[in-house]
Structure 1
Amino acid sequence: MTTVTLKEEDYSSVTAEEVAQIAARLELDDYSTPFEGLQDWHLLRAIAFHRQELVEPYFYLLDIEAYDES
């Protein structure tokens, strides 16, 4: 399995197709090690912070819940 890593300046060039591929891998959950899945999850989460509009259809994979810190 090939792992994708991005630098901060690379987030602007991420495409919807690349995000869909990451999401598809997460949905299949067919990784050699648990760490490969965790890397994809962290990558999708990082993309969500930089390009939220690309990740909106896949928020359910991130399991991010709103909370109140007060």
Structure 2
Amino acid sequence: MKTLTISKTNIATMTSQEVDKLAIRLEQDDYSNAFEGLEDWHLLRAIAFQRPELVESYIHLLDLEAYDEA
């Protein structure tokens, strides 16, 4: 399975369809090695920080939790 490699500038132009495909790959977890899945996970995480509206439906894939540092 081929993973996406995208620069920060390209994240600004990503479409919701591209994010959907990325999330589907992550949900299926059908990678030939762990590094491909990790690359997709890091890409989805970068999108979440730069364009959170695109990953609202897939935030569960990132395991992001609010931490109380108190």
Note the C-alpha offset of 1:7.
1.6
User: How many pairs align?
Assistant: 70
Match of 1:45 in 2: 45
String of CA shifts for 1:3-58, please: whole Å, max 9, x gaps: 32222211110100000000000111110001111111110000000000000000
Gaps of 5+ in 1: none
Match of 1:68 in 2: 68
Give the partner amino acid of 2:25: R
**Farther off after superposition, 57-66 or 2-11:** 2-11
Match of 1:24 in 2: 24
Gaps of 5+ in 2: none
Greater helix percent: which structure?
A: 1
Runs of 4+ in 1 over 2 A off after TM superposition: none
% same residue: 60
RMSD: 1.0
The alignment status of 1:15 with 2:22, answered yes or no, reads: no
